Structure 1
């Protein structure tokens, strides 16, 4: 690097004399784990390089998440292009934090230094984007797990949070949140700074100026799903989007709605797409493909689907909790799909009649409601659960927003539920839960107006939902089988 720091890399070359197009993978998760991928890229004719980022594993320097990736990525690209085995064309590829590394070398670099194409899988776009929802609430569990495993250390310990929770099952309940490193028994100097990071729109502005080809890959059960979709929507150059019924590990973490037809060979897809991107074989438009979970279909991502409204009180029958209490000491639990049957109401609960026919959903969902809280700050969480004819529950969508409305004054509140792509079978009922917390996935709002990260005092909050004028908005097709079926490989590589 420019400051003399040496970063370790593995290189795998194809057979033959070259020069070759290249692929660069930069990772904080140990470059050696990518050796099978390097061999696959090399077998396909690419010079493949995997690099430990600064301060991780065999690379020198200090590890400061998200700080050095743009400059280090550009320096590595320059080095690769100077090598005798390089044709000068480079694809930057990465998953999760590695996707941030790939994108940083595009979005933060002069045009002459950028890679020629980028593959970003489940992109963890930046500190601010990973720390908080776009609507404000802090992503507590995911960040605690990641920082415990990877933060401020040269090598990862994937079991760090699990071990800490075994010592103290109430670890994430302790306040303030900023004391988490102390209770983890680890030094994490970057932990407080994480919560000071703010989304500023710079990522989307840079994406709107990026003219290299992009392949964005995500899962409809991935926490960064909507950032993946927004990245694709803002991208200026040829852009392709692939969404499957997967979690953060993509095909290695399929949801229960996944079908055998959704088990794609992503490595083969990446190689084919990279060839098309480097040879000018991609059309310059924006194309997206999504799996319709619960069916064998793949369909185009289309923003033209108009939402269908399901009004509270008519299409959605109130079961209870029109007035409820959000108690941070007894919060709405993010990991539990069961509804409490004892104690006072902790959520507003609504349900639909059984579906008379299949319902196909493809696009962003939302709840629009009128509601009030008696505290100056309030989080509103909406969870939609699909209940099959036997009553078995399956998560469909969740959204959470932070509001600072005047106490005891009704407000119009929109809660985005994210991109949904699912076929619901006849007899399915939808259960809508409206609560005040989503813990431990998100930090608890103390309701006092204090920062949830530094607060030490928690207050209860009385809530009320007005049925009139409130509705669930779903991206429903007017009738089943209205989506044109597509082949993901053919659609994304043309």
Structure 2
């Protein structure tokens, strides 16, 4: 059946009914990214016996009102849910689904809406949990380029301009270097009142705490190379509903459409078919209780059970150079460039492991433990782990960054989390560990003055000392080859 458009509480909503007699279960996607981009998805759900609905959120595209990210989704979603359950074509059951910000909408409906409006099951992919989680690392460091790109494309406007940041950078290469960062809207030539408001959000974990009391099944899908990978896993771990399933592959934010360099043909998954089969089982109450799922092991054809983690092991590292270095925010270490300069004043501490004598399966959270000193009242410590093949090719494995306010000149011991790895490292690989004061423009530059990086106008170079005897690279290593699993069976069990 051809989809039709209705206004639900004034919000533009496309609806596609399946062939045949109803009533049917429904699937609701609420998105700021233009509901018309979901026409193929509507058809896919309808062919599988679901009424499919996609709605432009308030203030976006064809929906009227003021667009205020993260503010109205529970209330607007609840009104739409009640409307769905009143329709003769709905059997009273529906699934809330979505990816990225649409995943936030689905979770807001499941966890924040009144009980009578909550969905019967939830599918979220690469979920943007909230403004604090998306804007900052857990340590508080600002995720600059990703948020600048999103706000330039979607913030405070009815439509979208996906390439807005790239076009502005082409004309103004110093855009993200300009201070203060709060001045970005003027440099973009746009009115963006929500940009400074974004950085005032610091409270994390609202959905995480409420997820413990969730009353419906969850399917969480993410990618190891996605900004929100750890949030996706923690949401699954903390979900309190009758069942929770996790699918994590070697993908970026676009999932199977954005495979990482470590993806293999075995990591291709038909997500649409999987979602529909899972939804059928979830709505029928036929999923086994508990937390299950599958994780794709990068650089191998394997999927392993979710929850499998290696034992922490300290890898030997030796110093190449830069035990003393200068973190200069005027010349920050690039987040996009893996070439390491060795013929100038060091801008980072560089360490390396011996070549791996045998393949290494690394699954779980990695970290670096340091003893180090900064001569400024505020200092960021960025740790980047890079795999270097025997042929000399470099590939980023993980990045972590923390913000410290230690006494200037006083040595401190601390840990930099590197996130979760799921990777097979071939024999002969060397691991390069870079410890720097910046990771720009992925992260905002710490001005080192103690001022807020978003409003700071003055930068100060920071002298750093790293004690190489107290650098410990801790990787979660499996003692034996993991037993493979079938991701579809794990999700549908």
- Same fold per superposition (TM over 0.5): yes
Is the partner of 1:16 in helix, strand or coil?
Answer: coil
Contact 1:371 1:464 (C-alpha < 8 Å) held by counterparts: yes
Match of 1:134 in 2: 138
Is the partner of 1:206 in helix, strand or coil?
Answer: helix
Is the partner of 2:311 in helix, strand or coil?
Answer: coil
Match of 1:490 in 2: 489
Match of 1:302 in 2: 307
Is the partner of 1:307 in helix, strand or coil?
Answer: strand
Match of 1:122 in 2: 126
Match of 2:381 in 1: 380
User: For 1:123-148, what per-residue CA distance to the aligned partner results, in whole angstroms no more than 9, with x for missing partners?
Assistant: 01111111101111000000000000
Contact 2:309 2:363 (C-alpha < 8 Å) held by counterparts: no
TM-score (norm 1): 0.97
Q: Distance in 2 between matches of 1:200 and 1:49?
A: 30
**Uncovered stretches (5+) of structure 1, i.e. residues with no partner:** none
User: For 1:213-243, what per-residue CA distance to the aligned partner results, in whole angstroms no more than 9, with x for missing partners?
Assistant: 1111110000111111111111111111111
**Residues 182-331 of structure 1: matches in 2 within 5 Å?**
182-237=186-241, 238-302=243-307, 305-310=310-315, 315-331=316-332
Number of paired residues?
486
Is the partner of 2:468 in helix, strand or coil?
Answer: strand
Is the partner of 2:11 in helix, strand or coil?
Answer: coil
1:167 to 171, 178, 199: 171
Match of 2:365 in 1: 364
Match of 2:40 in 1: 36
Is the partner of 2:208 in helix, strand or coil?
Answer: helix
Cα offset, 1:302, TM superposition: 2.3
Q: Distance in 2 between matches of 1:293 and 1:200?
A: 29
Q: Distance in 1 between matches of 2:152 and 2:228?
A: 19
Aligned-residue Cα RMSD (Å) equals 1.2
Match of 2:334 in 1: 333
Q: Distance in 1 between matches of 2:312 and 2:286?
A: 35
Contact 1:220 1:421 (C-alpha < 8 Å) held by counterparts: yes
Does 2:446 match 1:445? yes
Q: Distance in 2 between matches of 1:307 and 1:288?
A: 22
Match of 2:23 in 1: 19
Cα offset, 1:323, TM superposition: 1.0
Q: Distance in 1 between matches of 2:97 and 2:342?
A: 48
Q: Distance in 2 between matches of 1:341 and 1:5?
A: 61
Cα offset, 1:20, TM superposition: 0.2
Q: Distance in 2 between matches of 1:7 and 1:36?
A: 20
Cα offset, 1:490, TM superposition: 0.3
Q: Distance in 2 between matches of 1:200 and 1:243?
A: 22
Does 2:73 match 1:69? yes
Contact 1:301 1:363 (C-alpha < 8 Å) held by counterparts: no
Contact 1:73 1:105 (C-alpha < 8 Å) held by counterparts: yes
Cα offset, 1:38, TM superposition: 0.7
Q: Distance in 2 between matches of 1:405 and 1:301?
A: 38
Is the partner of 1:341 in helix, strand or coil?
Answer: coil
TM-score (norm 2): 0.97
Q: Distance in 1 between matches of 2:328 and 2:53?
A: 51
**Residues 101-112 of structure 1: matches in 2 within 5 Å?**
101-112=105-116
**Uncovered stretches (5+) of structure 2, i.e. residues with no partner:** 1-7
Q: Distance in 1 between matches of 2:415 and 2:198?
A: 27
User: For 1:297-318, what per-residue CA distance to the aligned partner results, in whole angstroms no more than 9, with x for missing partners?
Assistant: 00012255321112xxxx1111
Q: Distance in 1 between matches of 2:208 and 2:97?
A: 19
Contact 1:31 1:50 (C-alpha < 8 Å) held by counterparts: yes
Cα offset, 1:283, TM superposition: 1.3
Q: Distance in 1 between matches of 2:282 and 2:203?
A: 30
Q: Distance in 2 between matches of 1:260 and 1:202?
A: 37
Match of 1:344 in 2: 345
Which has the larger displacement, 41-50 or 191-200? 191-200
Match of 1:156 in 2: 160
Match of 2:5 in 1: none
Cα offset, 1:112, TM superposition: 2.5
Cα offset, 1:342, TM superposition: 2.8
Cα offset, 1:5, TM superposition: 5.2
Which has the larger displacement, 365-374 or 170-179? 365-374
Cα offset, 1:66, TM superposition: 0.8
Does 2:413 match 1:415? no
Q: Distance in 2 between matches of 1:139 and 1:207?
A: 25
Is the partner of 2:470 in helix, strand or coil?
Answer: strand
